[in-house]
Structure 1
Amino acid sequence: MLTTGLDLRADAITLTKVVCDIPSESGNESRLVDAIEAALDGYDHLQVLRHGNTVVARTMLGRARRIVIAGHLDTVPINNNLPTHFATLDEEAAAADVPGTRVGEYLVGRGTVDMKAGVAVALKLAAELEAPIHDVTWIFYDNEEVEAEKKGLGKLAAVRPDLVEADFAILGEPTRAKIEGGCNGSIRCDVRTRGVRAHSGRSWTGVNAIHKVAEVLDRLNAYEPQTVRVEGLDYREGLNATLISGGVAPNVIPDECTVHVNYRFAPDKTLEEAEAFMRGVFDGFDLEVRDRSAAARPGLDADIARDFVAAVGGEAYPKYGWTDVARFSELGIPAVNYGPGDPQKAHADDERVLLEDITAVEQGLHSWLMGERA
């Protein structure tokens, strides 16, 4: 085996910290990708390929079924100005979120939850499991946290669809070591108001575009979040303003203002139906769709999915955020989310993963892939 800076013989908790300590904000994953490619290249039972900043490592054992286990390498931006303390953690953990800090039963830092703990587990098992009962394709990809056109898994599927073919897929997204089926879809749009620019000392000669945004916000405030049941799982929707911009100068009446709105919708809707809903909410306003990703139904009716659920949890829950299970769903591949960490801590200032979650997911995947049963 080659000696590299990323030792895949380490325990999963140690490996999680090492992976988290290599910064990899979206668009800047190459250092981590290089380390992963070099580490996996040292294992004879894996065929290792690279496309851009996506690494694929797969067994070629001739098994009857193939499983994809995938995880994204990028994180949201590093926060260098963390609060001086956390409600449930030692103050020493608040210094910075890269490198990570081990505090009691947690590992704290950017990416610990979303989703480098899941990546670390996958890396360890990829190196360790030479003869799983299914062939496995391990995929580590870039740019998941940004707009759809940049996502590494989508780019890989477009140019090498053979590398994502499988009978079942597992995403190591945070699920508290439980199984979460499907995912909500996401549409992001800009809602614009327009006015007439003027000197603020003669405001009556202009029309204030920022003031017009009040109606946009009123419609958002009037929205009541829906809970939609799909194949036995309850998906909670959301419609929220996430950004707002407008204004020219302190003494100028603005002629344009933009509210960025994100709609998270349940998998009972198509992209077209979700977009039509948004256009209905903001009827009368200029609306431009900036990004959209389809939802995914739970996908738990396939035999292999039921076997996985029975082996590692016995119960499934809904995934509220968008994940790449939707991409596999579009390809006709049943897929679930299963990884360490509480999804409510994803992207948080105090992002932290419970160490026992890492161990539980490692044991669950190891046992299932090796055909072991308690």
Structure 2
Amino acid sequence: MESLKELLKELLLINSSTREGSNKAVEFCGQWLEENGLPVNIIQNNGYKMLVSEIGSGDKKVIFNGHIDVVSGHDEQFIPREKNEKIYARGSADMKAGVACMMQTMVALKDKGLNTKIQLQIVSDEEIGGFNCTGYLVEEGYTGDFVISSEPTQLGIALQAKGVLRLNVEVDGEPAHGSRPWEGVNAIEKAFDVHNKIKELPFMQESSEYYPMPSLNLAIIEGGDVYNKVPEKCMLKYDIRYLPEQNKDRVVQEIEEAVEGPVFISMFSKPVRTDIDDYYVQKIKAAVEEHTGEEAVFFGQHGAADTQFFAQLGIPAIEFGPVGENWHGNRENVEIDSLYMYHKMLIDFAHSV
């Protein structure tokens, strides 16, 4: 099992925070899988590479989906180091650890005569939305009956993920000379009131089983062009994560009715909502409880993952991965023991289905 840790370290040495680096990491994974006796199909779309490898047989298919692209980091973060039974590096938790475990699992299972097909997908653009890789694969029919995305979940099972809604709200004012602001209406000051109004809308007061509320992030403000003029326009740009039980169109409608200016949607994705009683979920639950000796933890993710593309087709999908912390931060790490435990859970799951 030492090879699992070494595989992860080799993968972490590749700076995959750029498209070129991510493609290099996909090629590395493909070569490693081929050297270990697995079939590999490398696909390219809009300059982004991804790979697909499949084992097993039968009418059912489970997708193992993982991304090797990472957010930017300091140069030293791409040199993995061990300390206190953890591996520190950019991408160690999010999510090269999960990918390495899935690769090792495919090798361990390839000659076991599985009655279910297991398809490994390794993609290179999840951190920028996933549309070029997993989104493309789903459009091309690379789907199955159940999906596991190996995001870091502390060995918990994320059944849900909030929907994503990015929109811009335009606030209009009245221009005037900067020395006589009382003769105009300052669009930036007016935007303060608009933002406070949006925070109090009904959709922001709702909760659900796994979430106390949606989230509203005022990410960007654009307004004004010169010092000596009362700003005529201000644009508020939001990142909204709405609950799985909420409807995107209703959220937009509430905002449109609350503000005077136009509202523009720049991007959205549907939430993920997988049934806890799903056959495959219960098999994952059994594997977790067998190896931890504790009751499996179910929860909902605040952020989005590539599970969204499968969920849009009604395919049950979960996030389930090793124990890590501080992903996207300077102290990103993964617990080494959780790698081996997660690997064993995936093997038991595959045999059980």
Q: TM-score, normalising length from structure 1?
A: 0.80
Q: 1:126 & 1:241 partners in 2: Cα distance?
A: 42
1:68 is aligned, of 54, 63, 66, to 63
Q: Is the 8 A contact 2:38 2:53 kept in 1?
A: no
1:200 is aligned, of 156, 178, 182, to 178
Partner of 2:312: 330
Note if 1:122 corresponds to 2:116.
no
Q: Is the 8 A contact 1:298 1:318 kept in 2?
A: no
Q: Deviations over 1:155-197 (max 9, x none)?
A: 1222x20x22x12111101110121112111101112223345
Partner of 2:235: 258
Partner of 1:40: 33
Q: 1:237 & 1:247 partners in 2: Cα distance?
A: 30
Q: Deviations over 1:230-284 (max 9, x none)?
A: xxx556421221222333244444333222212111211233334334434x432
1:209 is aligned, of 187, 191, 201, to 187
Q: 1:261 & 1:210 partners in 2: Cα distance?
A: 15
Q: Is the 8 A contact 2:66 2:95 kept in 1?
A: yes
Q: Which runs of 5+ in 1 are unaligned?
A: 1-8, 81-94
User: CA RMSD of the aligned region, Å?
Assistant: 2.7
2:268 is aligned, of 292, 297, 300, to 292
Q: 2:252 & 2:241 partners in 1: Cα distance?
A: 11
CA distance change for structure 1 residues 221 and 205 in 2, over 3 Å: closer, same or farther? same
Q: 1:72 & 1:97 partners in 2: Cα distance?
A: 18
Partner of 1:311: 287
Note if 1:113 corresponds to 2:93.
yes
Q: How does 1:1-374 map to 2 (within 5 A)?
A: 11-25=3-17, 27-28=19-20, 29-52=22-45, 53-59=49-55, 61-78=56-73, 80=74, 96-132=76-112, 133=114, 134-147=116-129, 150-158=131-139, 160-161=140-141, 163-164=142-143, 166-197=144-175, 199-204=177-182, 206-222=184-200, 226-229=206-209, 233-234=210-211, 236-280=213-257, 282-313=258-289, 314-315=295-296, 316-342=298-324, 345-371=326-352
Partner-residue secondary structure (3-state), 2:35: coil
CA distance change for structure 1 residues 73 and 203 in 2, over 3 Å: closer, same or farther? same
Partner of 2:292: none
Partner-residue secondary structure (3-state), 1:114: helix
Corresponding letter in the other structure for 2:276: L
CA distance change for structure 1 residues 290 and 302 in 2, over 3 Å: closer, same or farther? same
Q: CA deviation at 1:202?
A: 4.6
Partner-residue secondary structure (3-state), 2:208: strand
Partner-residue secondary structure (3-state), 2:126: coil
Q: Which runs of 5+ in 2 are unaligned?
A: 290-294
Q: Is the 8 A contact 2:242 2:248 kept in 1?
A: no
Q: 2:281 & 2:166 partners in 1: Cα distance?
A: 31
Q: TM-score, normalising length from structure 2?
A: 0.85
